[in-house]
Amino acid sequence: MLVDSHCHLDRLDLSAHDGDLGGVLDAARARGVRQFLAIAVTLEDVPGLAALSRSHEDVVISAGVHPLHDVADEPSVEAIKACAETHEAVAIGESGLDYHYLRDGVPRERQHERFKRHLIAASELELPVIVHTREARDDTLALIREHTDPAVGGVLHCFTEDLDMAREAVRHGFYISLSGIVTFRNAASIRELARRIPLDRLLIETDSPYLAPVPHRGKPNEPQWVVEVAECIARERGISVDEVAMQTSANFYRLFRAAAPQASDAVRESLSLAGLV
């Protein structure tokens, strides 16, 4: 089985599936994807994602505000927690720091305060945090060190930074998630990460509808193409796709512990055999 640990199901292009999200998910299921973590970009997204989760037993959700999303009123720690609890989110986020768009985006100070609130909410709920980080290495790590519990941890999603940052995050209880970028021709440094990050700390994702992997570049991304991410990592490490699939799926349920009780019966049986439930 495979897990797409980060996809934006409420933002997918459904035109290739007659406008039907079920068709998108069925295409992924047919390729062995057995779990989807649907990521919130705003707290207003969360009720709709929760409805999707109720309709599809293999979909779980997060609750949070993306660092680049401008909001009129910044949510408090209590508001983030209440949203996550009300809608049974298994994670907080995505949140984090993105300095690439500072000139036209959310100011650095607001990003810091927002990220800190998400980290505190995650720690208080004992839920992992999904971190978006871009060109903000030192500040991201500093806030993680100050406001997260390594026993709870989280994930640096769609990771494109360096090995030193990955190692520091792992030391603080975090996992590293690789996306379709690992397949891009000019992404040799990411493929090196795919070889060097410990396999027991690795997750895979699509970040769909963004960043479609080779050979699908230029198309809207879909959860089914997490298979191409797994295949690329397997080639780089010289191991089987099955090994990548099994280990990254086990990693997912170790990190997102609240997702395990919501998994399908078939997945729960596999988790039980692996000692994860």
Predicted pLDDT at 266? 62
Alpha-carbon distance of 26 to 166, in angstroms, equals 33
Alpha-carbon distance of 214 to 169, in angstroms, equals 28
Could you tell me the residue ranges of all domains in the chain?
Answer: 2-272
For the chain, residues with pLDDT lower than 70 are 263-277
Q: Which residues contact 250 (CB under 8 A, 6 or more apart)?
A: 274, 276
Please give the single-letter amino acid code of residue 249: S
Q: Which residues contact 95 (CB under 8 A, 6 or more apart)?
A: 64, 65, 66, 67, 114, 115, 118, 119, 129, 130, 131, 132
Token pair, residue 9, equals: 């199901």
Alpha-carbon distance of 105 to 97, in angstroms, equals 11
Token pair, residue 245, equals: 């699939």
φ, ψ at 33 (rounded to 5°)? -80, 120
pLDDT, tens only, 183-230 = 999 999 999 999 999 999 999 999 999 999 999 999 999 999 999 999
In contact, 194 and 163? CB cutoff 8 Å = no
Task: Establish whether the linkage from the previous residue to 215 is cis, with ω within 30° of 0.
Answer: yes
Q: What is the DSSP string of 56-92?
A: -TTEEEEE---TT---SSPPPHHHHHHHHHHTT-SEE
Predicted pLDDT at 101? 84
In contact, 134 and 99? CB cutoff 8 Å = yes
Place domain 2-272 in its CATH homologous superfamily: Metal-dependent hydrolases (3.20.20.140)
Please give the single-letter amino acid code of residue 190: I
